[in-house]
Structure 1
Amino acid sequence: MQFFGKILGAFFGFLFGGPLGAVFGFFLGHQFDKARRLNQAGFRTGGFGSGPSQAERQEEFFKAAFAVMGHVAKAKGQVTKEEIQLASAMMERMNLHGEQRRAAQDAFRDGKDADFPLESVLEKVRLTTGGRFDLLQFFLELQVSAAFADGDLHPSERNVLHKIARGLGFSSEQLEQRLRMQEAAFRFQRGGSSHSGQQGGQYSGQWQQASQSDQLADAYDVLGVSESADSKEVKRAYRKLMNEHHPDKLMAKGLPPEMMNVAKEKSQEIQSAYDLIKKVKGFK
Structure 2
Amino acid sequence: MLWPGTLIGAGAGFFIASIPGAMLGALLGQALDRRLQLHSWAHLLERIGARPVLRNDELLFVLLGRLAKSAGRVTDRHIEQARLEMRQLDMAPAAQKRAIAAFNRGKSGSDSLRGYLLRLKAQPHAAEGVLRACWRMILADGQAAPQQRELVVLWGGWLGWPRQRVLALGGEHGARQKPLATRSGTYQQSLMLLGVSDASDPEQIKRAYRRLLSRHHPDKVAGTGAGPAQVREATEKTRELHQAYALIRERRGF
Which TM bucket (shorter chain)? Answer: 0.5 to 0.7
Partner of 2:246: none
**Counterpart contact for 1:67–1:111, Cα < 8 Å:** yes
Post-superposition offset of 1:61: 2.6
State yes or no: 1:169 paired with 2:174: no
Post-superposition offset of 1:157: 0.6
Partner of 1:11: 12
**Counterpart contact for 1:13–1:26, Cα < 8 Å:** no
Post-superposition offset of 1:107: 1.6
Q: What is the alpha-carbon distance in structure 2 between the residues aligned to residue 154 and residue 106 of structure 1?
A: 24
Partner of 1:43: 53
One-letter code aligned to 1:43: V
Partner of 1:152: 143
Residue 67 of structure 2: which of 66, 69, 72 is its match? 72
- 1:112 is paired with a residue whose SS is helix
- 2:167 is paired with a residue whose SS is helix
Partner of 1:103: 98
Distance change in 2, residues 1:193/1:88 (3 Å): closer
Post-superposition offset of 1:115: 1.6
Post-superposition offset of 1:79: 3.0
Partner of 2:174: 183
Q: What is the alpha-carbon distance in structure 1 between the residues aligned to residue 72 and residue 5 of structure 2?
A: 32
Post-superposition offset of 1:68: 1.2
Post-superposition offset of 1:110: 2.0
- 2:177 is paired with a residue whose SS is helix
Of residues 28-37 and 74-83 in structure 1, the stretch that sits farther from structure 2 once superposed is: 28-37
Provide TM-score, normalisation by structure 1.
0.52
Deviations 1:233-256 (A, max 9, x none): xxxxxxxxxxxxxxxxxxxxxxxx
Distance change in 2, residues 1:7/1:109 (3 Å): same
Q: What is the alpha-carbon distance in structure 1 between the residues aligned to residue 192 and residue 76 of structure 2?
A: 26
User: How many residues were matched structurally?
Assistant: 189
Distance change in 2, residues 1:64/1:195 (3 Å): closer
Partner of 1:122: 117
State yes or no: 1:85 paired with 2:80: yes
Partner of 1:56: none
Q: What is the alpha-carbon distance in structure 1 between the residues aligned to residue 76 and residue 162 of structure 2?
A: 32
Post-superposition offset of 1:179: 1.1
1:260-279 superposed matches below 5 A: 265=232
Post-superposition offset of 1:117: 1.5
Structure 1: any 5+ residue segments left out of the alignment?
45-59, 210-259, 270-284
Q: What is the alpha-carbon distance in structure 1 between the residues aligned to residue 28 and residue 71 of structure 2?
A: 38
% identical aligned pairs: 19
**Counterpart contact for 1:63–1:104, Cα < 8 Å:** yes
